[in-house]
Amino acid sequence: MEISVNSYPCEAGDVKWIRIVNSKGAAVTLSSLGAGIVGVEVPDRDGKIENVCLGYADPADYLNDGPCMGKTAGRYANRIAHGHLRVGDRTYQLAINCGPHHLHGGPQGFQNKIWDTELLSNGVRFSLFSPDGDENYPANLNAVVEYRWSEDNELSISLEADTDAPTVVNLTNHAYWNLDGADSGSALSHLLEIKAQKWVETDDTLAPTGNLADVADTPMDFTTPKSIETDLKKDFPALRYGKGYDNCWVIDRSVDSESLPAGADKWIETAMVEDAVVLSSLKSGRSLHIDTDQPGVQVYSGNWLSGSACNRSGKGYEDYDGIAIEAQGFPDAPNHPGFPSQYIDAQHPYRRTIVYRFLS
C-alpha cells in the first residue's frame, strides 16, 4: 500500500487527509475531521478508475455541513425524539437540531470533531475522547474508528466505544455514493437491494413510532433489486414525510433468535450479514456490497443535498445526487425498549463492523 498524508487548515484546527492506494491503483482518502471518508476511487466495468464518494473541494467545508458528508456521526447517529434521553434513573435533555428532534449527537457531534490519527500498514485508526457532559450525554467515552483498505477494493470499518459509566452510543459512516462518478448527477437510477423484511415506521417528523412494519407490497420493499426512483414519487406516508427515502430497515439476521440461550436478548446476535445491502449501477457496472453486524440500515436518498458546498467539479450537489447507506442501530432506540439496545457501560463496550466491497 502507498500512503500519503496532507494537512489543511479549518476553524477547528488542522485536518489530515490520508490517501491509501493499493497495487491496482484503487484508492481511498480518509479525513481526521469526523473520522470520515472523502474519496473512494474504484474501477468501472472497463477498468476506468473514478471517485464514487461524494465530497467537497475544500476540506474546510466539511466542518458543520448539513449533509454530514462522509463522516462518522455520533455520539448517537440518527434521531433521538425531542432530545429526550433516559439513562438509569436520570433524564437528559439533548440539543434539538433537526426539527423537533436531536440528530447525529448534536451540533458538535463526533462528525465535527478532529480525531487523533494513527497510520496503519493498510489503513488509519482514528480516536476521540468525549468527556462526560459532551453535548449533554452522560459518562466519559473513548471512541475508535479504524479503516482498512484491501487489495480487493474492500474498505472495512471497525467502530468501537468504551465508557466508564452507563450511556448510549450509535456510530455509523455517513458517506454518499454515486457509482457513476461522484459528480455525475442523479443517482436515482441505481439499483438497491436490502435484506430486510421490515422497516422502522416513523411519524411525519421522522421519529419512530415503535412499530416495525412489513415491507411487503409497499415502496419500502427492496428484497429484490429495483431502482431507487421506481417508487420514490409514490403516494406513501414515509416518502411524503422525507421527500424521498430517509428510513431505517431491519436487517434480516442470519441466526434465528429461538436458538439463543434462554433469557437472552433476541437482538444480541452480532454475526456479520453478507450483502446486507447492495447498491449497483447498470451504467458503470460498479456495485457496492455492504456487510455488517449492525441491526439496521438507514437509507437516505440525498433528498436535501441542494445548497451544499462546491464539489471537485466546481459546483454544488443537487438533491438525489448521492445515496447514503448508514448501517447503524435503530433511531430513537433509547426511547423504545423493544428496539435493539444501544446502551453500554464499563463491562459492555460497543463493537460494530461495516464493510464496503466494491465490485465491477
| Rounded Cα gap, residues 176 and 178, in angstroms | 7
What's the average model confidence in pLDDT over 29-35? 98
* Residue from 37, 30, 72 nearest 161 by CA: 72
Cα separation, 262 vs 271, in Å, equals 18
- Number of helices followed by number of strands (H, E) in the chain: 1, 28
Evaluate if residue 267 carries a pLDDT over 70: no
Q: What is the dihedral of CA 217, 223, 226, 232, to 10 degrees?
A: 50
Higher pLDDT, 261 or 328: 328
Tell me what the pLDDT averaged over the chain comes to: 95
Mean pLDDT of 35-45: 98
Q: How confident is the model at residue 264 (pLDDT cuts 50, 70, 90)?
A: very low
Binned at pLDDT 50, 70 and 90, residue 303 comes out as: very high
Q: Is 190 exposed, middle or buried (0-12, 13-18, 19+ CB in 10 A)?
A: buried
224 pLDDT more than 50: yes
Would you call 326 a catalytic residue per the annotation?
yes
User: Which residue type sits at 264?
Assistant: A
pLDDT at residue 353, as a whole number: 97
Please provide the distance, in angstroms rounded to a whole number, between the alpha carbons at the two ends of the chain: 21
Q: Is the pLDDT of residue 117 over 50?
A: yes
Output the pLDDT for position 271. Answer: 83
Residue 275 backbone dihedrals phi, psi, to 5 degrees: 55, 40
Confidence of residue 252 (pLDDT cuts 50, 70, 90): very high
Residue range 339-346: average pLDDT?
95
DSSP, res 192: E
On whether the CB atoms of residues 271 and 295 are closer than 8 A, the answer is no
DSSP character string of 210-229: EEEEE-TTSTT--SS-EETT
For the stretch 200-214, pLDDT in tens is 999 999 999 999 999
Amino acid at 158: S
Tally Cβ neighbours within 10 Å of residue 338.
11
Residue 241 has pLDDT above 50, yes or no: yes
Among 174, 190, 289, 336, the active-site one is 174
- Interval 54-75: pLDDT, tens: 999 999 999 999 999 999 999 9
User: DSSP character for 136?
Assistant: G
Domain ranges of the chain: 2-359
3-class DSSP assignment, residue 111: helix
CATH of the domain spanning 2-359: 2.70.98.10
- C-alpha cell recorded at residue 326: 448508514
Q: How far apart are CA 250 and CA 266, in angstroms?
A: 13
**What is the reported pLDDT for 253?**
78
Tell me the C-alpha distance between 157 and 140, whole Å: 23
Q: Does pLDDT of 258 surpass 50?
A: no
Q: Check whether 342 has a pLDDT greater than 80.
A: yes
**Per-residue pLDDT at 345 exceeds 80:** yes
Note the maximum CA span of the chain: 59
> Catalytic pick from 102, 104, 326, 336?
326
Q: Which residues contact 252 (CB under 8 A, 6 or more apart)?
A: 195, 196, 197, 273
- Residue tagged 422525507 (cell numbers): 242
Average pLDDT over residues 164-187: 98
Sign of CA dihedral 247, 158, 166, 63: negative
Label residue 270 by pLDDT band (50, 70, 90). Answer: low
**174 is annotated as an active-site residue:** yes
Q: With beta carbons less than 8 A apart as the criterion, state whether 302 and 322 touch.
A: yes
pLDDT reported for residue 260: 40
Residues 81/96, Cβ–Cβ less than 8 Å: no
